[in-house]
Amino acid sequence: MSYVDRVLQPGETVRYRTRLHWIIYLRVVPFIIVVLLGQALAAELKGATEGVPSPSLPTILTAIGVIGGAIAAIGQWIRRTTTELAVTDRRIIVKRGLIRRHTIEMNMDKVESVDVDQSVFARMLNYGNVTIRGTGSGLEPLRTIEHPLDFRSHVTAR
């Protein structure tokens, strides 16, 4: 059972759920480039050093890329699966974290405005940053969420 489902009050219903966009996995790309460079260097040196034991630099680069990429991918997967964003008929609920949990809730009657920030690339892939401003305080920006305009529409629709 999700966090949002566990904290719903009696009679409260979820109007909209979203999550982080898959674009967060792009943090793995530099590690993939390191792996490709290591493999290209190994192929280049293999022809130049025929009969000599394989050089360790390409092996080290490949290992760094594979291990670093795996750690980055697992970290982003955990971040994406443990982040919940929901709009109910009464409030906005944001939950982040697996071991160290961070939750934010804002009553709908306290919402003053909802800002959506999208680049051209983000608009094409339908993700963006949403900032909710409330009376007295606001939510920190919700970065790289899927369908930010739908999220905004559900927050502002009363």
Residues 42-55, mean pLDDT to the nearest whole number:
62
Mean pLDDT along residues 12-36: 93
Domain extent for 98: 3-20+83-156
The domain tally of the chain equals 2
74 and 90 share one domain: no
Are 155 and 91 spatial neighbours (Cβ–Cβ below 8 Å)?
A: no
DSSP symbol at 136: S
Rounded-to-integer distance, Cα 54 and Cα 28, Å = 27
Shared domain for 118 and 141, answered yes or no, is yes
Identify whether residues 89 and 144 lie together within a single domain. yes
Assess whether 110 and 139 both reside in one domain: yes
> HSE of 111 in the Cβ direction (CA atoms, 13 Å)?
24
Q: What is the per-residue pLDDT across 77-128, written as a single tens digit (0 to 9) for each?
A: 999 999 999 999 999 999 999 999 999 999 999 899 999 999 999 999 999 9
Residues 40 and 104 in one domain: no
The count of other CB atoms within 10 Å of the CB of residue 137 is: 9
Q: In whole numbers, what is the pLDDT of the chain averaged over residues?
A: 89
Asked whether residue 16 falls in the same domain as residue 32, the answer is no
Does position 49 have pLDDT exceeding 60, yes or no?
no
- Residues 90, 107: contact at Cβ < 8 Å? yes
Same domain for 12 and 57? no
Q: Is the pLDDT of residue 45 over 80?
A: no
Q: Would you state the pLDDT for residue 158?
A: 67
Q: What is the CATH number of the domain that holds 130?
A: 2.30.29.30
